[in-house]
Amino acid sequence: MLDFRSALICAIIANVNRNPKKRHSPFKPSDFMPRREEQEPEKQFPEQMLQRIKIMNAALGGKVREK
């Protein structure tokens, strides 16, 4: 959503300053949107997910409670 808002602002600024003799069609927000190729998410095993959660927990100062 943030990408679209930024692209919309860029398109407005570009259109205000556009020379209609050089560029007949107005800019669109999609002209300023980064193009990302869709990537398939990496498959994870439960052990990998748990390890990542432990790393994030430690980075944020959390404590591990063992049962």
The answer to the question of residue 51 being in a domain is no
The answer to the question of residue 19 being in a domain is yes
The answer to the question of residue 50 being in a domain is no
State pTM to two decimals. 0.49
* pLDDT tens, N- to C-terminus, the chain (67 residues): 678 899 999 999 999 999 999 999 999 999 998 777 777 778 889 999 999 999 999 999 988 787 7
- Which residue type does 62 have? G
**Residue span of the structural domain in which 17 resides:** 1-35
The answer to the question of residue 40 being in a domain is no
Q: Is the dihedral of CA 46, 52, 54, 57 positive or negative?
A: negative
Tally of domains in the chain: 1
